[in-house]
């Protein structure tokens, strides 16, 4: 088969679509004929080795972790799936940008609703599940306010929408970082207010909108000690949640919650797919590429500001 491959830890311009062995589904796995795959920021760090201390990979590595397609073969012990079933999946650290990949049923594989095409389905798994786990980790309550830092990225677009869904039910309020060009888009996703990070200090502008601070900061951009700066936007007794790693003490009465790799629950991916299929969840595709241009897609993803997801059509 053909796949987008990194032969070793290399610069981003050293990956290529090339021949690679077709995977075989083991016990408890399904083989997926890939129709579309999507990129995530972690993909870039896996290619270069920037994340190798936390996420070492085996080479040659097939890039990508988000996929949509159809079941081609079912491994031993798998029930509930059959060849021909349309699916979406999170494949783990690698394997998605290829003609075939494997995934395991459970929280990382779901059947794709009839009204959800493969391109939009591929944009859901990693980002959508991360957003679900971030909001679950902070136990958003009635009437609370949320600041989403990095709102126009892959995870951010889901975090804003899911927080807004909570807001509709619980009376919460969503503030999102933005640019002037993206303000209308984010309001359409459910943000009550936006903060233009190019024209104003995010923390100071947030405190102007919410003088006592927000209840929850969802920071999708910063990590480590830099989270302490963003935490200034939270009220005393508030929470800051990040998918990255940070300090155990933010220097004030704000609780840090760093979830690391997401731990989805059964039904999470199915729920996201159902919401996307019936229009309750928007999947923003910022750029689309053909399979032969997959290496260029990675470079553009790294170098350009692309709102939403970058999707590669494989077949």
Q: What is the mean pLDDT of the chain?
A: 94
Do residues 143 and 109 share a domain? no
Query: 167 pLDDT exceeds 60?
Result: no
Tokens of 181: 């060009």
Strands (E), 187-308: 193-196, 214-219, 234-242, 254-258, 285-290
Q: Single out the residue of 142, 136, 125, 197 nearest to residue 162, CA to CA.
A: 136
Task: Read off the pLDDT of residues 76-106 as tens digits, 9 standing for 90 and up.
Answer: 999 999 999 999 999 999 999 999 999 999 9
User: Which residues form the domain of 305?
Assistant: 2-123+283-313
| Within a domain: 268 | no
193/269 Cα distance (integer angstroms): 28
Confidence of residue 247 (pLDDT cuts 50, 70, 90): confident
Query: 169 pLDDT exceeds 70?
Result: no
∠ CA 222-311-97 to the nearest 5 degrees? 95
Residues across the chain: 315
104/92 Cα distance (integer angstroms): 10
What is the domain-level CATH number for residue 101?
3.90.180.10
Do residues 173 and 205 share a domain? yes
pLDDT score, position 140: 84
Do residues 230 and 287 share a domain? no
Which of the residue ranges 28-42, 219-233, 240-254, 258-272 has the most confident prediction, judged by mean pLDDT?
28-42
Over range 108-115, report the average pLDDT. Answer: 97
- Find where tokens 């999470």 sit: 268
Do residues 232 and 307 share a domain? no
91/41 Cα distance (integer angstroms): 15
Confidence of residue 170 (pLDDT cuts 50, 70, 90): low
pTM for this model (two decimals): 0.94
258/237 Cα distance (integer angstroms): 17
In the chain, the number of structural domains is: 2
56/198 Cα distance (integer angstroms): 35
Cβ atoms 177, 149 nearer than 8 A: yes
Do residues 236 and 154 share a domain? yes
Q: HSE (CB half, 13 Å, CA atoms) of 171?
A: 2
| Within a domain: 267 | no
pLDDT score, position 18: 98
Do residues 107 and 143 share a domain? no
Task: Read off the pLDDT of residues 33-53 as tens digits, 9 standing for 90 and up.
Answer: 999 999 999 999 999 999 899
| Within a domain: 191 | yes
Task: Read off the pLDDT of residues 273-284 as tens digits, 9 standing for 90 and up.
Answer: 999 999 999 999
Do residues 231 and 141 share a domain? yes
Q: Which of 121-125, 169-173, 210-214 has the lowest mean pLDDT?
A: 169-173
What is the domain-level CATH number for residue 193?
3.40.50.720
Do residues 66 and 161 share a domain? no
Cβ atoms 264, 241 nearer than 8 A: no
């Amino acid at each position: 088969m053909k796949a987008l491959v990194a032969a070793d830890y290399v610069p981003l311009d050293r990956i290529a679509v090339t021949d690679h062995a077709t995977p075989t589904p083991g016990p408890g796995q399904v083989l997926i004929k890939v129709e579309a795959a999507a990129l995530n920021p972690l993909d870039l760090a896996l290619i270069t080795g920037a994340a190798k201390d936390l996420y070492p990979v085996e080479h040659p590595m097939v890039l990508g972790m988000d996929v949509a397609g159809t079941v081609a073969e079912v491994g031993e012990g798998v029930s509930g799936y059959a060849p021909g079933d349309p699916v979406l999946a999170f494949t783990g650290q690698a394997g998605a940008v290829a003609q075939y990949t494997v995934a395991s049923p459970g929280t990382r594989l779901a059947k794709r609703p009839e009204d959800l095409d493969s391109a939009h389905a591929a944009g859901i798994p990693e980002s959508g599940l991360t957003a679900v786990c971030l909001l679950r980790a902070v136990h958003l309550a009635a009437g609370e306010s949320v600041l989403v830092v990095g709102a126009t990225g892959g995870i951010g677009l889901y975090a804003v929408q899911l927080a807004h869904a909570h807001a509709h039910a619980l009376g919460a309020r969503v503030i999102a970082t933005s640019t002037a060009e993206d303000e209308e888009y984010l309001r359409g996703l459910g943000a009550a207010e936006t903060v233009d990070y190019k024209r104003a200090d995010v923390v100071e502008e947030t405190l102007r909108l919410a003088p006592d601070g927000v209840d929850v900061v969802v920071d999708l951009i910063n990590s480590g000690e830099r989270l302490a700066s963003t935490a200034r936007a939270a009220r005393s007794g508030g929470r800051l949640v990040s998918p990255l790693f940070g300090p155990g003490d933010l220097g004030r009465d704000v609780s840090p919650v760093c979830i690391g790799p997401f731990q989805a629950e059964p039904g999470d991916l199915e729920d996201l797919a159902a919401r996307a299929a019936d229009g309750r969840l928007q999947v923003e595709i910022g750029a689309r590429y053909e399979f032969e241009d997959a290496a260029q897609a990675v470079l553009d993803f790294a170098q350009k500001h692309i709102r939403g997801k970058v999707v590669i059509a494989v077949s």
